[in-house]
Amino acid sequence: MASLAATEPAACPGATPAAESIVPACMFAPDRGCADDLSGADDFEDGEGTNGESADHLHLSNKLVLVSPSGEQYDSLFRHLREQIDEGCGETIYVVGMGSDGGDYGLDEKDMEASVATVRSLCEQIEADLILLRERTDTGGRIRDYLIRRRVGEQDFLEVRVAVVGNVDAGKSTLLGVLTHGELDNGRGFARQKLFRHKHEMESGRTSSVGNDILGFDQEGQVVNKPDSHGGGLDWTKICEKSSKVITFIDLAGHEKYLKTTVFGMTGHLPDFCMLMVGSNAGIVGMTKEHLGLALALNVPVFVVVTKIDMCPANILQETLKLLQRLLKSPGCRKIPVLVQNTDDVIVTASNFSSERMCPIFQISNVTGENMDLLKMFLNLLSSRTNFNNDEPAEFQIDDTYSVPGVGTVVSGTTLRGMIRLNDTLLLGPDPLGTFIPIAVKSIHRKRMPVKEVRGGQTASFALKKIKRSSIRKGMVMVSPKLMPQATWEFEAEILVLHHPTTISPRYQAMVHCGSIRQTATILTMNKDCLRTGDKAAVHFRFIKTPEYLHCDHKLVFREGRTKAVGTITKLLQAVNTQAAKAQQAKLLASKKTFREGSAANEEAASAARPPSPNAAQLPLKSGGGGRRRGGQRHRGKGLNAATISTAVPAGAAGTA
């Protein structure tokens, strides 16, 4: 069926001829064959309440259905295309000239023109753009692959987040510098200098923080990043205005001592995909396996980029690729590695990539720019993995805080669900007592561009009213009051120990990463006496510092030194009693107030009791509190005798605070 082949252009045997691709077509979707597609088509037709004639089914699964469809068929095609676009979060790959009824693939010139005209009219109704990706010939004629992408407004764009991981010196920051700034590297660290945020990073050439960089694509799939000719900086607002799709790269640290930051980047920034970088001359060393294991544990689809192929001898490159394929096929990964060598491979892998089984491998050079176009095309075809419902109550997780002069407190993070508009009042929390406070959103920015609203799955930063930066920490959330949020001290989780040198038993403490939450937790009880590497268990945890806002079924990473475990939260226990917490807060505020009033009264009494001394009059007093003044007088009066000091500071003043 022409429309059903949309997202799985190579799901049926023979979909891509041997000459076109080096990979057998059915390899990508071993559990989905042509029979499933046909049964799906039947269900779809019956479900939509059409006349259900077998001729109609046969006709809709035929490659000629797009040539001159009847009204009923046109409606079915329209509904199906709309579903495919919703499923692909605003875009899908659509194949014209391939049926799923077992006939020859390909259409002649006249039928192809008529089919394309039908698809174009469907796109106009959906308000989407039709972009030709490739054209190929088969036994029956020509086949075309099109990218259909929904049009977005001036202030909106599709967003895909890609985490960039790999060992130190694999070329992560250099590749991002080349991709985002459009200039090749000189082999001496020229490209990466534009991305570093700190002085020590520039000196050592090593990333130590979570960097964010963007790559914009327009409707035609062309890169819109144009660096400033003077400073070489990027104007994010201009890129976002011109782009219909923006790839956000989360540049993570490769060095082992920054693993904590890398884990936070993978859990807190919610990447859709993971780009694993391997230096072809060094091979799979150091943290490469560690980062790959982390991506697999969090169920993030991985694609591999092998860099520095211009300086690597051919035999070493082959050895690295062989090792990489062996690692990806191993029982721990169970991936299907595919070496991407031409545009056909890019289209086949991109359309089957979200299945998580496939792992494309790109070989690139940042100095010569070899195969860079294939990588850019692949990034343009990636579509976001998660669908979000805008009708749900809003929830936003905070992963960074800033204090901006003239603006005030700013928080950045990811909208998990729902929609947040300007001037909305949300609940911010939990604070150390587990309470949530109402807060108004003063302004919203997406990629440094002011907007009026954000939806689920989008990253944004909010300026907040009447709150200090010190009272906000990473891991807090902003939620709709409808959710009536509650903070939790204790929770149960199913965990799997990936590595531990000895045994884990109750009262063991380690750092728990869950979303943007990062806090030490203690194991209270578990359903086994002790845990070793490879063991699974249900474990009862308790946070040691502050309660957190959690959900069931959230993934967590549990680590301490070389110990690593992954798991899923199964049950929330001991929620904070908000009424008691609020009463405690009020009590604290009242006690602070009485303390301040008492100290102010003491100070007034002391100043009244102080006699006018000539020495004290000569000494210039500081404008601070009583304690500060005494300190200043002692400091200046070192040369004076004890009697002078005793007259300058009477006994009554010694009690003031």
Cα–Cα distance, 304 to 296 (Å, whole number): 13
> Full-prediction pTM beyond 0.85?
no
Distances in whole angstroms, Cα of residue 90 to Cα of each of 145, 244, 613? 17, 10, 81
- Residue 229 is predicted with a pLDDT of 63
- Residue 372 is predicted with a pLDDT of 94
CB atoms within 10 A of CB 380: 25
SS3 state at 553: coil
141, exposed or middle or buried, with CB in 10 Å at 0-12, 13-18, 19+?
Answer: middle
- Contact call for residues 491 and 512 (beta carbons, < 8 A): no
Chunked in runs of 10, what are the mean pLDDT values of the chain (657 residues)? 41 40 38 38 38 44 82 89 86 85 81 91 90 88 90 81 92 90 84 76 76 88 79 79 91 85 90 94 90 91 95 94 94 92 92 83 94 94 82 92 93 93 94 93 92 91 93 94 93 93 93 94 94 94 95 91 90 78 72 66 52 43 44 45 42 41
At residue 32's C-alpha, the angle toward residues 31 and 38, to 5°, is 145
- Residue 7 is predicted with a pLDDT of 40
The string over 610-632, giving b where at least 16 C-beta atoms fall within 10 Å of a residue's C-beta and e elsewhere, is: eeeeeebeebeeeeeebeebbee
Q: DSSP character for 273?
A: E
Quick one: which of 160, 258, 263, 260 has its CA closest to 214? 160
SS3 state at 358: strand
Rg (CA), the chain: 31
- Residue 59 is predicted with a pLDDT of 60
- Contact call for residues 95 and 2 (beta carbons, < 8 A): yes
Cα–Cα distance, 375 to 355 (Å, whole number): 19
- Residue 581 is predicted with a pLDDT of 67
Q: CA dihedral in degrees (153, 156, 160, 165; nearest 10)?
A: 140
SS3 state at 369: coil
